[in-house]
Structure 1
Amino acid sequence: MQEEFDDDGEGDYERGEGVNALNLEFVRGYNKDIKDGVHNLTNGERKAIFYSAAHTGVIYDYEEGEQKLLQGHCNKITCTACSADKRLIVTADSGIDSMLVLWDSYDGIPIRTYFNPYENGICALDISQDGRYLATISDDKFQAVSIWDLQNEELDEPIITTLCGYARDDKQYLIKFNPSDAYELVCHGESQLAFLSWSEDSDEIEYYLSPIQQSSFSKKEKKNAAFTSTVFIPDSTKAVTSTEKGDLLVWDISLIVDGMSHTNEKRLTKVLELHQDETSINTLTIHGDYLVTGNEDGSVRFYDFDLKICGWFENLDLGVIKSISFADEEPKSVDHEEEAEEELKCADFIVADSNAVVCKLESRLFEELEPDQKKGEVIFTGLKSAINCIAVHPHEPILAIGGKSGFLITWNYTTKEEEYKQLKEEPCAIEYSPDGKYLMGGTADGLIRIYDPYNDMVELQAPCKTSERSDHAIKQLIVSNDSEHFATMDVNNCVCLFKRDHK
C-alpha cells in the first residue's frame, strides 16, 4: 500500500479506494422533528429538496434519485434555512465545537463557515428576504439573539448581539425576519413573544413585549396555549401567531396608543378561532398573497391576508404537518367554474409530517373529487421513530432496520427499494441467520420471533421466551454458523441458548 503514495505520503486515488476509513455515500431518513426543516429547491432547472439527517445536510434530487451530502458538522444539525431565491442554504448545530455553515444549494459546497458562534451553538435561525442578513438564537442557558452580515466576508462574527432577557425561562425556538423590512423580526418560545428591531448603527437589538389580555380569548385556558409559529404579513404592519389551540393571534400597530412611533411596538388587536375544535395550527408560511397553515390533523389551508379561507388540502393521510415549502416557480391556477369570483393560484409545494412522510402537492389537487386523487405524490418516507437495531444480510445488499415505534424495514441499499412491516412489539435486537433464510427479532417484552424475510416477514414458528416476565427486553442476538442455534442476552445480562426448532 505504501508504494502507491509519493514520498510525502500523498498520491492520486479515487473515492472508495480505501484511503479514507469510511465514505458516506447515501443517507436513509431525515431529522423529521425539526420544524420547517424540509425546503423545496425546485425551480425550472431542478426538482430537489433539502433536509438534514443527523450531522449531515442532504440535497435530494427526487427526479433522479440522487443525493448531494453536505458534511462537516460535529453535532446533530438543529436548524436550517433557505434563501428566498433557493441559492443559499444555512445549517447550524448545538453542542461543543458547534458550527454555522453557508452552502451553495447547487453544488453543495460550503461558502462560509463560522466556528463556535455561541458557547453551545444555535437552536433557531432565519435569512432575510434579500439574503443579506442572518438572524440566530443561541442554544445557551442564557439565550442571545444575533444578526450576521452575510455579505461582509471579512467579518467572522455577528454585527450585533443581545441577550434574551425578556424570555423568563421560556426557551426561544423561533425567529423570523419581516420580509418587507430586514430591520424588524419576531422571536418567541411557547409563552413569551417579542418584536425586535435593530439598525446597523446600534449596539443592541431593541425588543417590545406586547401584553396579552384574558378578555381577548373565548376560553380562559386559551390564553396559556403555546405559540407554535409566527410570520409577518408582507407589505403591512401586521404579524400573526398560531397556537396549539387552533387560534390565530393578529398583531398590529395600535393607533389608539399615544406616542407610538416604532414599528416593533405592535399590539394584539384580535384573536381568531380558525379551528373551532381546537386543532393545533403547527406551522405558518407566506406564499404570494396567501397565509398558509399546516395543521395537527394533516391538513394545509390557504387564507388571504384578510384571513378569509381561499383553499384547503385535506384527507391527505398525513400526520401533524411539520414543514411546508413552495417551489420557486410561477403559481398555477386551479380550474374553477366560470362563475367563481376568485381562484387559488399557488406553485407546487412540499409538505413533511410527523411520520417522516415527504409529499408533493399541486394546486390542481384542490379541485379533484376523488379522495385518492387528492393525496399528492409521496417523494420519500423517512423513519418515523428512533432506530433500535440494524442487521446486514449475509449475502445480499439488504439492511434490516428495527425502530422504536415497532417498524421493521428491509432496505436494498443498491436499488433503494424497501419493504415495510409494522410489528406487534418494539424490536430491540435483530439478526440474520448466516444462511440468510430467516431473520431473528428480539422484542422489548422478552420474546424472540423468527421471520421469513422473503415472505412478508411471516413468522416461521411460535415465539420463544427468555423469561415469564415481560420487562426483560432482548438487547443482543447471535446465530450459530449452521443457523440451527441462537443465543440471546437481555437487559438483565441473562444469556439464553436456543435450538432453532425450539417451540
Structure 2
Amino acid sequence: MEEVDDKEFEDVNSESEGIVDEKEFEEAAVDTGGTDVTTRQRSQVYTATSDTLFQEAAKDTRTHSLSLEWVFGMNPTLPAFSLQDQHQLVVLYAGAHVGIVYNHTSNSQHTLQGHRHNITCTCASDNRRWIATADQGPNNTVIVWDSYSGIPVNTLFNCHPKRGVTAMAFSTDAKHLVTLSAEEVQSVCIWDWTSQTEEPLWRVELTSKCGFQDCILFNPADSTQLLSRSNTNVIFYTRALGTLQYFAMKLKKYSRETPGRFKIPDTFMNPNMADMSLSQSVFHCRNPHILTVTTAGNILVWDITPFLAADQSLHKEIFKIISLQKINITCIATTDSLIITGDTRGNITFYDEDFRYLMRYIDFKLDPIVSMSFSKECTKGFLGGCNLKTEPLVIRNIVVSTIRSFVHVNVQKGTAQILLYKDCEPLHAVTCHPQKPIVAIANEMGGLKLWDYNDKVLLYNKLFVTEKNIKCLTFDPRGLLLAVGTDTGTVHILDFSGQTETLQSLRCTQDSIHLISFSDDSMYLATADAGKAVTVFRWKKESSWALIGRYHSHYKPIKDLLFGLHPDSSLPRLLSLGMDRWLVEYDLENSTANELLILSTERVEQSAVPMCMAWYPSTTSEQFLLVASDQYKIKLFNSTTKMCRKTVLGPTYGSPIKKVFILPATEDVKANFRCMAFIIKDKVGLQILPLDGNPFKSNALVCHPAGVSAFACSHDGRFVFTAGESDCTVLSWETNLTALEAASALGGEDMLPFYSLLEGGREGKFYREMEDFFFYCQIHHQGIDAMERRQISTEIPLTEVPPLMRALAFFPTEREIEDMTNEVKYSKYAETGNYITKIDLEGFIKLYVNHRPAFGISSDEFAQAFRVLGDSDSDGQRVLQRHELLEFVRDRGENMTEEEVAECFTTLLGLDEEEEEEEEEGEEGKLSKREEFQSGSEDSEPTLECVIPEEISLETFTCDILGFPSSIAS
C-alpha cells in the first residue's frame, strides 16, 4: 500500500485540478520538508494520470492462482459516482466486497480489492481523484484509493470497532474524511487521512434521540460544517467554535406564534408535521441553509445562522416550506448555482439558487431516482425553460442511480444512456456452457441472463413471470438444452440451439427443485427436490421428456446428484448423496415408466455429514468417487465396491467444502497436472491433484463475505464463477495453475508439508514421542519379553497402527480403523496386484495427519451433546442419568459389549491403578473392582455409586470421567 503524505497529496490534488505551477510545487516541498522530488516522481500515485488505470489494466499479467476478472451485477443499495466524463465515460460503484471502476467506453473494469466484508458505503472527492470504500463487521476497514492508478493510499483500521461505517464523505478540498458509525450509539469522526495519525481529528457521539443517521456530507462552501440525516432528524455539525458540536433539528408541532426569521405558511400548520419523513438533505449552494425533502414535492429550508452565533438559542428551530412540484421528490442535489431534483416518475428538474424553475427532463422514462452524481468536467451553456434569464450556467453531466439501473444523462444534449442494469434480487444459480464462453445466471425473481464472458456482452434476458425463484441451472453435455429448476417444482427445458425458447415444462412435485443433472449422453435428466426425493426423466424420440419415476430415497436433504458411466458397460449411472450419510445408486437400465428402482445403498460416513461429491480423475484402472464432508475430510470411494480407499485432510479455511468441480486438463501446464475448484461458506479456492493432505497444495480467497450460493467452471477451466446469494453479484475468477503450482512448491517437498502439521514440526517434542512410540510398536510386535536378537526395521505391521494412533491421543472407531487399514493395504493393488501389510514412519505420519480430527474436540460439541441427550435438573442445568449414559455408550454408534464398556470405564476411572495397589499390598481373596463391574449391572451398581454420580453434568463428564481440563466445560 503506497503512503501519501501531505505534500504529495497537495501536489497530486492540485495537479488533478490543473492549477499546479512551479512556485506551488516548491512551497509544498518546503511545507512538508520531507520527500525529495526524485522519490515523488517515482511514485505511481504521483505520476498517474486519468488514463493510467485502464492502460495498466490492459498490460496486467495474472500472478495469482485466482484473480478477480469481472463482476456481474452490483450492490443495488449503493449509488454510482461519475469519475470521468470527457474522453472516457467512467463510473464507480460497488459489488460484494469490491469497488468497481467501470469504463463504459471500453467496456472494461478495474476492481478495488481489500475488504473482508461487503462494502456498505462509498464516496468520491469533488475532483474525483480520491475514492473511499468502507465495510461493516469485525476488523472493518476504510480504504482510500487513488482513482487514477487504482492503488490504495491509506487504510483506517477499526475506526468504528463495534459495527463499522454506514456513511462517509470527503471535504471539498479532499483533505478530510468524515465517517458515521453503524452502531446503536452512533459516532461521527473527522479524519486527516493524508497523515499517519491513527486517531480522528474530531469525534462526537450522538444521542439515541437523534434517530439512526444514514447519510452525512460536508458543506461544499465551508468544510467546517456538516450535516447528517435520519428519517426523523436532520443534524447540523460545526467546528466554528473550536470543537465539533452538533444540533438536532427535529420537526415539531408549531403554532402561528412560533418565533423565527421565516413566516410559516398556513398550509404547513398541521398536527401531523412531526410524522414527516426527512428522506434527503443537502446544503444550499450559496446561502446558510439546509434543504430537506419532505412529502409531496415540498422542500423544507432550515436556517443554520442561529447555530453559528455566540448567543445562539438552541430552542429555536427556524425553517420555511417551499412547494416545488406535485410529484414526490426522491432525490435532491446542488452543484454550482443549481438545485436539481429527481422524483418518483424519473423526472430530473433544474432550479436556480432561488428555487426558480429552469427546465425538466421528462422524456427519459426512467425509474424512480435514488441519487445523482455530477461529472467533474463542466461546460457553460443555457438551460431552456420558463426562466427569462439569459446568463450562461455551469452545466455538468449526471450519472443517475435509479431503483433499477445506472443512467448517464448528457445535460447539454438532453440525452440519457443506460450504463448498467441493477440485479436487485438474490442469486441462487449459475452454470457454464460446455462448449462456448457463455455463463447463465438466474435470480430469485425468475430472471435469467446469458452472458458472453469473453466479450462481456449480454446475449439473452428472460423473465419467468409465473415460475419465479429459480434455484438451479444446468446445460446438457451437448450444449443444446438448458434446464431451469424453480421453487414451485417445475423444470423448464430451454432450446439453446435456436432462440432459447421453452421446449417443455416438467413437473411431478410441488417441492422446490434444487439440483439438476444430465447424463453424459443427454438421454437422462435427474432432479433432486426439497422433498428429499430424486426424479428421473428420459428423452423420447418424439422430442419430449418422459417420466421414469420419483423415489423418496433419503430421509434428510439431498446434497448432490451425479451422473456417471459404468466402468464395464459405459452405460449411464446415477447416484445421490444425502445429509443422512447414504450414497444411493439407481438402476436406470431396469427402471420402467413410473417405477424408478434402487440398485444399491451405502452409508459413507459415521458422524460426519457429506456435503458434495464428484468423479475423481484417476490414472489407474480404478474409478473413484470423491466425497467431501463437514469435518474437513475428503474421501475416495471405489465406484464399484463403494469401499473407502483414501481419506485426506481437506482445505481448512474456516468452513468445510460445499461444492467441488474437477477442472479439465489444459495445455498450459505439464501433463497429468489436474486441479479441483471448490467453494466453502464465503471463499473460492483451488486444490492440486492428486489429493494427499498437503496443505500447501490448496489456495482460497474471499469471494462473497455474506455467503456464496453456487459456482460453476468454464468448459476450458480458465474461469471459475461464484454467485453471492444476498449481494446480487456473480464474480468471474481467472485461474492460473502455474502460479498455484509455484506457490505449492514453497511449502517444501516430500515430507516437509506434513511435518508442519505436527505440533512443533520436525524438531518438536511431539515428533520425538511419535518416533519413540513407533519403534516401541516394533518391539511390541516382536514380543516384549523376547530374548532373541531383535530384527531392526523401518516398518511396523498394520495391526500395530490402531494402538499407535490411540497412544497419540487419536481414538478412531472400528470403521475408521478399517478404512485406515484398507487405505494402506490396497494402495498399490491396482498396479502390482499385491497387498501392503506394513507401513513406515513417513507413511504413518501421513495417515495420522489425514485421519485425525482436523480441529480436535471443542467444548461446544460437548455442550451440544448434553443439550440434545440430557434433561434439565432443578437448577436448569443439562444432566444425564447414569443408566442413560451406560445405555448410550453400549447401544448407540458402534455397539459395545458389557466387557468392552467395563474395560473403558475401568481405565477412565483409574480402577486398574487401584487394583495394582491392592495387589502390591498383598490383599487376597478380594474380588477386583473390574470383576465386580464385569459381573453384571446389579453387582456393579455399588461400584458405580462410588465413582459415578446418579446425575452427570457436563463438567462431571468432561473433567471427572474423561479427565479433560476444567476449562473445556466452561
Shorter-chain TM-score bucket reads 0.7 to 0.9
Q: 1:39 aligned to 59, 81, 85, which one?
A: 81
Alpha-carbon deviation of 1:266?
7.8
Is 2:310 the partner of 1:271?
Answer: no
**Does the residue aligned with 1:436 lie in a helix, a strand or coil?**
coil
- Matched with 1:147 is 190
- How far apart in 2 are the matches of 1:265 and 1:55? 44
**Does the residue aligned with 1:227 lie in a helix, a strand or coil?**
coil
**Does the residue aligned with 2:116 lie in a helix, a strand or coil?**
coil
Q: Is the 8 A contact 1:334 1:363 kept in 2?
A: no
- Matched with 2:456 is 416
The 3 A distance-change label for structure 1 pair 492 and 299 is farther
- Matched with 1:448 is 491
Q: State the AA in 2 paired with 1:291.
A: I
- How far apart in 2 are the matches of 1:220 and 1:249? 16
Query: For each residue in 1:445-482, what CA deviation from the matched residue of structure 2 results, as whole angstroms up to 9, or x when unmatched?
Result: 21111112343431112x11132x4xx22222111111
- Matched with 1:353 is 402
Equivalences for 1:16-35 in 2 at 5 Å? 20-34=64-78
- How far apart in 2 are the matches of 1:274 and 1:380? 30
Alpha-carbon deviation of 1:288?
1.4
Alpha-carbon deviation of 1:94?
0.7
Q: Is the 8 A contact 2:357 2:387 kept in 1?
A: no
The 3 A distance-change label for structure 1 pair 130 and 259 is closer
Alpha-carbon deviation of 1:189?
1.3
- Matched with 2:290 is 239
- How far apart in 1 are the matches of 2:308 and 2:487? 64
Q: Is the 8 A contact 2:290 2:304 kept in 1?
A: no
Q: 2:472 aligned to 394, 408, 429, which one?
A: 429
Alpha-carbon deviation of 1:294?
2.2
Is 2:252 the partner of 1:213?
Answer: yes
- Matched with 1:7 is none
Q: Is the 8 A contact 2:359 2:384 kept in 1?
A: no
Is 2:148 the partner of 1:97?
Answer: no
Query: For each residue in 1:106-157, what CA deviation from the matched residue of structure 2 results, as whole angstroms up to 9, or x when unmatched?
Result: 1110010111111211000011111111111111222111111123x22022
- Matched with 1:225 is 276
Is 2:389 the partner of 1:341?
Answer: yes
Q: Is the 8 A contact 2:431 2:475 kept in 1?
A: yes
- Matched with 1:282 is 330
Equivalences for 1:99-138 in 2 at 5 Å? 99-118=141-160, 119-138=162-181
- How far apart in 2 are the matches of 1:132 and 1:200? 20
- How far apart in 2 are the matches of 1:383 and 1:136? 28
- Matched with 1:473 is 512
Alpha-carbon deviation of 1:185?
1.0
Equivalences for 1:321-336 in 2 at 5 Å? 321-334=369-382, 336=384
Q: Identity rate of aligned residues, in percent?
A: 27
Query: For each residue in 1:20-56, what CA deviation from the matched residue of structure 2 results, as whole angstroms up to 9, or x when unmatched?
Result: 331001111211211xx21101154643111111111
**Does the residue aligned with 1:231 lie in a helix, a strand or coil?**
strand
- Matched with 1:171 is 212
Alpha-carbon deviation of 1:340?
4.9
Unaligned stretches of 5+ residues in structure 2: 1-58, 255-263, 547-970
**Does the residue aligned with 1:185 lie in a helix, a strand or coil?**
strand
Query: For each residue in 1:169-225, what CA deviation from the matched residue of structure 2 results, as whole angstroms up to 9, or x when unmatched?
Result: x321011111111111111211122111236953xx311122423456366556423
**Does the residue aligned with 2:279 lie in a helix, a strand or coil?**
strand
Is 2:355 the partner of 1:315?
Answer: no
- How far apart in 2 are the matches of 1:449 and 1:47? 39
- How far apart in 1 are the matches of 2:519 and 2:269? 66
Q: Is the 8 A contact 1:184 1:264 kept in 2?
A: no
TM-score w.r.t. length of structure 2: 0.46
Q: Is the 8 A contact 1:244 1:282 kept in 2?
A: no
Is 2:111 the partner of 1:69?
Answer: yes
- Matched with 1:369 is none
Structure 1 stretches (4+) deviating beyond 6 angstroms? 14-17, 257-260, 263-266
- How far apart in 2 are the matches of 1:67 and 1:448? 35
**Does the residue aligned with 1:23 lie in a helix, a strand or coil?**
strand
Larger radius of gyration: 2
- How far apart in 1 are the matches of 2:214 and 2:272? 22
Alpha-carbon deviation of 1:159?
1.6
The 3 A distance-change label for structure 1 pair 265 and 420 is farther
Alpha-carbon deviation of 1:165?
0.8
Query: For each residue in 1:387-443, what CA deviation from the matched residue of structure 2 results, as whole angstroms up to 9, or x when unmatched?
Result: 221111111111101112221100001111112112222222111111110110111
Q: Is the 8 A contact 1:177 1:186 kept in 2?
A: yes
Q: Is the 8 A contact 1:392 1:432 kept in 2?
A: yes
Q: Is the 8 A contact 1:310 1:344 kept in 2?
A: no
Alpha-carbon deviation of 1:78?
0.7
- Matched with 1:189 is 230
- Matched with 1:379 is 419
Is 2:444 the partner of 1:404?
Answer: yes
TM-score w.r.t. length of structure 1: 0.86
- How far apart in 2 are the matches of 1:114 and 1:466? 55
Unaligned stretches of 5+ residues in structure 1: 1-13, 367-373
Q: Is the 8 A contact 2:345 2:365 kept in 1?
A: no
**Does the residue aligned with 2:69 lie in a helix, a strand or coil?**
coil
**Does the residue aligned with 2:532 lie in a helix, a strand or coil?**
coil
**Does the residue aligned with 1:26 lie in a helix, a strand or coil?**
strand
- How far apart in 2 are the matches of 1:214 and 1:331? 45
- How far apart in 1 are the matches of 2:287 and 2:315? 14
**Does the residue aligned with 2:144 lie in a helix, a strand or coil?**
strand
Query: For each residue in 1:251-303, what CA deviation from the matched residue of structure 2 results, as whole angstroms up to 9, or x when unmatched?
Result: 01467x997756999834212233425x2x22222121111112222122112
For the aligned residues, what is the CA RMSD? 2.8
Q: State the AA in 2 paired with 1:362.
A: N
Q: State the AA in 2 paired with 1:226.
A: S
Structure with bigger helix share is: 2
